[in-house]
Structure 1
Amino acid sequence: MEKTVHSFEIINENIIIKRIDKSLLTYGEIRIPNYLRDFFHFHEMEKHDRWDIEITYHHSLYYGVLYLDDYKRLRGKLRWGKELTRELRNTASKYIYESYGYDIREENAPLLRLEKVDRLTFRADVIFPEEVEKDAKEYMLHEDKFIYGVKARYELDPDVRLKVLKIHGVSCGICGFNFEHIYGDVAKGYIQIHQIGSEDKGLEELDLEKDFIPVCDNCHGILHRNKEVDLSVKELQQIIKIQSELHKLDK
Structure 2
Amino acid sequence: MQKSFNSFEVVDEQIIIKRIDKSLLTYGEIRIPNYLRDFFHFHEMEKHDRWDITIHYNKTEFYGVLYLDDYKRLRGKLRWGKDLTRELSNVTAKYVFESYGYEIREESTPLLRLEKIDRKTFNADIIFPEDVERDAREYMLHADKFIYGVKARFENDPDIRMKVLKLKGMSCAICGFNYENYYGDVARGYIQIHHIIRDENHMEEYDIEKDFIPICENCHGILHRNKENNLSVSELKQIIKLRHELRKTEKE
Range into which the TM-score falls when normalised by the shorter chain: over 0.9
8 Å contact 2:155–2:195 — kept in the other structure?
Answer: yes
What residue in structure 1 maps to residue 66 of structure 2? Answer: 66
Residue 145 of structure 1, CA deviation: 5.4
**CA-based RMSD:** 1.3
- Once residues 2 and 185 of structure 2 are traced to their aligned partners in structure 1, the CA distance between those partners, rounded to angstroms, is 29
1:168 has 2:174 as partner: no
Matched AA of 2:218: N
In the superposition, the TM-score normalised over structure 1's length comes to 0.96
Pairing 1:212-231 to 2, within 5 Å after superposition: 212-231=212-231
What residue in structure 2 maps to residue 113 of structure 1? Answer: 113
Segments of 4+ in structure 1 off by > 3 A? 143-146
Q: Secondary structure at the match of 1:150?
A: helix
Aligned length: 250
Deviates more, 1:67-76 or 1:105-114: 67-76
What residue in structure 1 maps to residue 193 of structure 2? Answer: 193
8 Å contact 1:139–1:145 — kept in the other structure?
Answer: no
1:249 has 2:240 as partner: no
- Once residues 143 and 49 of structure 2 are traced to their aligned partners in structure 1, the CA distance between those partners, rounded to angstroms, is 58
8 Å contact 2:28–2:85 — kept in the other structure?
Answer: yes
In the superposition, the TM-score normalised over structure 2's length comes to 0.95
Q: Percent identity?
A: 74
Residue 148 of structure 1, CA deviation: 2.3
Residue 153 of structure 1, CA deviation: 1.5
Q: Secondary structure at the match of 1:53?
A: strand
Residue 141 of structure 1, CA deviation: 2.3
Segments of 5+ residues of structure 2 without an aligned counterpart are none
The superposition leaves residues 141-187 of structure 1 with CA deviations (integer Å, 9 ceiling, x where unpaired) of 22745422431121011110000000000000000000011111111
Pairing 1:107-146 to 2, within 5 Å after superposition: 107-142=107-142, 144=144, 146=146
Matched AA of 1:180: E
- Once residues 144 and 231 of structure 2 are traced to their aligned partners in structure 1, the CA distance between those partners, rounded to angstroms, is 20
Matched AA of 2:137: K
Q: Secondary structure at the match of 2:214?
A: strand
